[in-house]
């Protein structure tokens, strides 16, 4: 999925740094989780967020959604006592906007949301969900809290962001997925 192991390992050290309160207009669909604990799974995910307000050189605020589990997640190890057997599905939805200089734009931004994933295991598909908060600067970012602390690369989908507003953002994510019930 494009994130090298060395890059992922170096950047995951940043994930434990506390960040500001999450950026959303209402509470997440699930209760904010305490700091992740226990054993986690090393995972990569690849998905596209559709934006209700385009991102350009001008700061904006809005909502994003992958329209369900339309992305892919690939994890290694065991999940709830069962060996992961292959890639699964992944999705996110939430709000974007706050960044160091105001709303989200082509160069920086942030947000918070909910994620869901279905991961195939030897014991059958396992459903995982949680909340997360994130920031980006340029083409890279960090998910700094929730059950899937990670680093990511972001690129515009529909529209190039600088000359034409981006209506979609492509995320390539690598991190550690913490699951209640153990990994």
For residue 138, being part of any structural domain is answered with: yes
Q: Which domain holds residue 89?
A: 59-183
> pLDDT tier at 101 (50, 70, 90 boundaries)?
low
Rounded-to-integer distance, Cα 57 and Cα 171, Å: 19
Domains held by the chain: number: 1
- Is residue 33 a part of any domain in this protein? no
- Domain contains 175: yes
Task: Tell me what the mean pLDDT of segment 8-28 comes to.
Answer: 36
Cα dist from 68 to 4, 20, 31, 108, whole Å: 27, 27, 19, 25
Q: Which letter does DSSP use for residue 11 in this model?
A: H
Confidence of residue 181 (pLDDT cuts 50, 70, 90): low
Residue 3 lies in a domain: no
Backbone angles phi, psi at 10, to 5 degrees: -65, -40
Q: Is pTM beyond 0.95 here? A: no
Residue 9 lies in a domain: no
């Amino acid at each position: 999925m494009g994130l090298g192991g060395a890059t992922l390992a170096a950047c995951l050290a940043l994930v434990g740094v506390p960040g500001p309160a999450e950026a959303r207009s209402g509470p997440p669909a699930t209760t904010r989780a305490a700091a992740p604990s226990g054993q986690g799974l090393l995972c990569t995910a690849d998905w596209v967020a559709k934006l209700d307000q385009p991102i350009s050189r001008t700061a904006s605020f809005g909502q994003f959604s992958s329209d369900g589990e339309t992305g892919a997640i690939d994890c290694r190890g065991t999940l709830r006592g069962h060996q992961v057997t292959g890639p699964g599905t992944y999705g996110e939805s939430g709000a974007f906007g706050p960044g160091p200089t105001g709303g989200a734009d082509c160069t920086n931004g942030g947000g918070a949301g909910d994620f869901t994933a279905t991961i195939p295991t030897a014991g059958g598909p396992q459903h995982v969900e949680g909340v997360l908060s994130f920031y980006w600067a340029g083409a890279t970012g960090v998910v700094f809290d929730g059950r899937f602390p990670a680093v990511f690369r972001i690129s515009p989908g529909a529209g190039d962001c600088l000359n034409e507003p981006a209506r979609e953002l492509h995320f390539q994510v690598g991190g550690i997925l913490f699951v209640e019930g153990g990994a």
